[in-house]
Structure 1
Amino acid sequence: MSAVFAPAQAAADLGAQWEEKLRSGYLDAGLGHHRAPSIAAAYYAHLLRDEAEQAGVPDPESLTPAEHRLLKAWALAHGMPQEVAQCLPTAIFEPTPSWGLRNTGGVGRRTADLAARALREVRTYLDQRVRQEAAQELVRDLLTEHAPIVAIGHSLGSVVLYESLWRKPYPKVDLLVTLGSPLALPKGVFDLLDHGGLIVRGARPPGVKRWVNLAEVGDLIAVPRPLSDHFDGGHTDDVVHMAQVDCHTMGMYLSCGMVAAAIAPYLAAPDELTSAAAAD
């Protein structure tokens, strides 16, 4: 497989995996008689890879000052006291139970490691303008090619998708779904969101008719909550109760009946081939 073909193949593979998960979600919602939509996936990991993958799980000594600040903002959003947050990242990464793990619904070191990796990827995207624009261009190309009725953004993908929807000409989407989103995280994400040069804060993208945000109760990345406290536009917040260890993955969310129930009314046309676009 050539390097040029790899990203396209990765996107196709992701789309197929997510379609299977969404079919499970339709069954979970009692919608088995409906055909789950096909999904066009945006794959941009190769655009962030050399930064986002360095050292695997970030070690305390490898974090940049910007990553330290984002990690602290994340901990404070979870209610961690200032005096404990000052001790980060040790308070998050230590293998024994710490304040952070005990008080955020974490299930152990694996959960903290997942949070650290996700936050590092977010920081890479926000800090490097060239990479940021390349990821947005890829997402916008996907939206232009498929003109989806529903656009789904998960984790960092919710940030990339949100900013992409603020680029003129504003893509028109009937339903925007954000899953496990850190969009409202202050002093690390929310304050840095790019609205296409406009000075606005917490606004719904102009081409989006309705916005639904879903967050699993144990998802450490989806803070602060609810998202509607920080964004205008009449969108809906719901809490998902999956009680699973992998409570931040795209697959977990798509297999949830609440996600299927939010999407299905917009995708009733039986002849709809490419109905949803997703960014993770």
Structure 2
Amino acid sequence: MKQHNVVIVHGVRNWRPGVAPAKAAAELADRWAVPLAAGYRTAGLGHVPPPRVHAAYYADLINDDEAQSVVDDIDDLAPAEQELLLSWLHSLGLPQEPPEGQSWATMPPRHALSWFAQRSGMSARVLARVAIALLPEVYSYLASPARRENARRAVAEVIGDSGAKVVVSHSLGSIVTYEALHAHPLPHVELLVTLGSPLGLPGGVFEMLDPAPTGGRGVRPPGLSRWVNIADRGDLVAIPRRLGNRFDVDDHFEDHIAAVDFHTLDSYLTCGLVATAVAPYLS
């Protein structure tokens, strides 16, 4: 039954080269059904059958032949990606200008990342790993109108075909889903759950959203009965964590979800907060 369906929209690092999109989506759906079922048990809902999971797969559409190849080193980021890196670091607490009176923009990206890591007590290796995983795909999506529309349409089609009332979106997927629900309105969607979302990231994401924010606030997708945002307190991608400061979010939850895998979709699905949010809409 369609009311028992949930669509999950993936974040970065889910591209499966050489795998047909339909097969990639089916494999992701099967994989995510396991931690979601675990999340039902964590939430004390083990007696409730978990929903059927549909995966909205768009990674192939933003990793086309024109997209930048996989980056292995922080200094290999393209200039525009380096700007996005600085915006992200500034949001985490990097001062606008280095104490030496120079400009971060004229230095190799590694300098800004290392400087911030040393003074914040964070691991430079972890920061670099997150940046390399996140920024190229975020930029690939935001910078190309064609990729952007293709990804939005692909997500909207899966949601529409499934008839699901509930959409769960993770990381970059929350940006794609947010824009898809505006570009291709789907009245049957009642609940949006965003996980580890960078929707409000200033200087590189928030200002580039479509539709554009008005009065410093993002426009809520039409027709939603409820919007729930969930962020691990240590999630370096969910910046700012309280999306309600920039969007009309109905409920925001923060918790220590995972000590190491603080941004993975599996960790979010397992924690129980997602199950608690979606279960009332999947009767």
Scaled by the length of structure 1, the TM-score of the pair is 0.84
Residue in 1 aligned with 2:6?
none
Distance 1:63 1:112, change over 3 A: closer
2: CA distance between counterparts of 1:88 and 1:131? 29
SS at match of 1:213: strand
- AA aligned opposite 2:70: A
For 2:44, the aligned partner's letter is G
> Using a 3 Å threshold, how does the CA distance of structure 1 residues 171 and 54 change in structure 2: closer, same or farther?
farther
1:20 to 34, 39, 47: 34
- Structure 2: tracts of 5 or more residues without a match: 1-16
- Tell me the distance in 2 between the aligned counterparts of 1:101 and 1:175: 41
1:83 to 2:97 alignment: yes
Q: Look up the SS of the partner of 1:178 in the other structure.
A: strand
The 5-angstrom pairing of residues 128-139 of structure 1 reads: 128-139=144-155
1:114 aligned onto 2:134 = no
Q: CA deviation at 1:228?
A: 0.3
Alignment-mate amino acid for residue 185 of structure 1: L
Shift in alpha-carbon separation, 1:214–1:198, aligned structure 2, 3 A: closer
Within 5 A, what are the aligned runs for 1:55-204?
55-60=70-75, 62-84=76-98, 86=104, 87=107, 89-91=109-111, 94=114, 98-100=115-117, 103=120, 106-107=122-123, 109-195=125-211, 201-204=217-220
1:35 counterpart = 2:31: no
Q: Deviations over 1:170-218 (max 9, x none)?
A: 44311100000000011211111112x8968412101211100001111
Question: Any idea what the Cα deviations from partners look like across 1:99-129, whole Å, max 9, x if unmatched?
Answer: 23763x7455134312332122111100011
Match of 2:59? Answer: 45
Task: In structure 1, list runs of 5 or more residues that go unmatched.
Answer: 269-280
Q: CA deviation at 1:24?
A: 0.8
In the alignment, is the contact (CA less than 8 A) between 2:141 and 2:147 conserved in 1? yes
Structure 2 residue aligned with 1:258: 273
The one-letter amino acid of 1:215's match is A
User: What is the total number of aligned residue pairs between the two structures?
Assistant: 259
Q: CA RMSD in A?
A: 2.4
Secondary structure of the corresponding residue to residue 157 of structure 1: helix
Percent identical across equivalent pairs? Answer: 46
CA deviation string 1:62-87 (max 9, x = no partner) = 32222122111111111111234825
User: 1:194-273 to 2 correspondence within 5 Å?
Assistant: 194-195=210-211, 201-232=217-248, 234-268=249-283
| In structure 2, C-alpha distance between the alignment counterparts of 1:74 and 1:58, rounded to whole Å | 17
Shift of 1:43: 1.1
The separation in 1 between residues aligned to 2:45 and 2:177, in whole angstroms, is 27
Give the 3-state SS of the residue equivalent to 2:253 in structure 1: strand
Are 2:165 and 2:190, in contact at CA under 8 Å, matched by a contact in 1? yes
Distance, in Å, in 1 between the alignment partners of 2:175 and 2:268 is 17
Match of 1:277 in 2: none
- How far does residue 240 in structure 1 lie from its aligned partner after superposition? 2.4
Aligned-partner SS, 1:121: helix
Deviation, 1:91, is 3.7
The amino acid that maps onto 1:249 is T
Q: Is the 2:160–2:186 Cα contact (8 Å) retained in structure 1?
A: no
The structure-2 alpha-carbon separation of the partners of 1:75 and 1:236, relative to structure 1 and needing over 3 Å to count, comes to: same
Q: By how many angstroms is 1:59 displaced?
A: 3.2
Distance 1:231 1:198, change over 3 A: closer
In structure 1, what is the Cα distance between the partners aligned to 2:260 and 2:186?
Answer: 37
